[in-house]
Structure 1
Amino acid sequence: MAQPSSKVNGVDNTFRRKWDRDEYLERARKREEEEDGNFKAKAKVPAVQRKPLKHRDYEVDLVSRLGKTQVVTPVAPLSQQAGYYCSVCECVVKDSANYLDHINGKKHQRALGMSMRVERASLEQVQQRFESLKKRKVVSSFTEQDLDDRILKQQQEEEERKRQRRERKKEKKKEKALEEDLDDCDQDVAAMMGFGGFGSSKK
Structure 2
Amino acid sequence: MSDKKGSAYGTPATDTSFRRNYDLDEYAQKAKVRESAEKEEAKARYEAKMAGKKYYKPMTGDETHTRARRQIIDLEANVGKTVLVPAGAGQGKRGRSAGFYCGACDLTFKDNIQWVEHVNSMQHLRNIGETGEVKKASAEDVHQRIAEVWERLQEQKKAAVTTLKERLDMREEEANKEREARRLKRQEELAKKKAEKEAAEKVKVEYGEDVRVEGEHDEDDMMAAMGITGFGTSKKK
Q: Of Structure 1 and Structure 2, which has the larger fraction of its residues in strand? A: 1
TM-score of the alignment, normalized to the shorter chain, above 0.5: no
Q: Aligning the two structures, in what range does the TM-score lie when normalised by the shorter sequence?
A: 0.3 to 0.5
TM-score between the two structures when normalised by the length of structure 1: 0.43
TM-score between the two structures when normalised by the length of structure 2: 0.38
Asked which structure has the greater CA Rg, the reply is 2
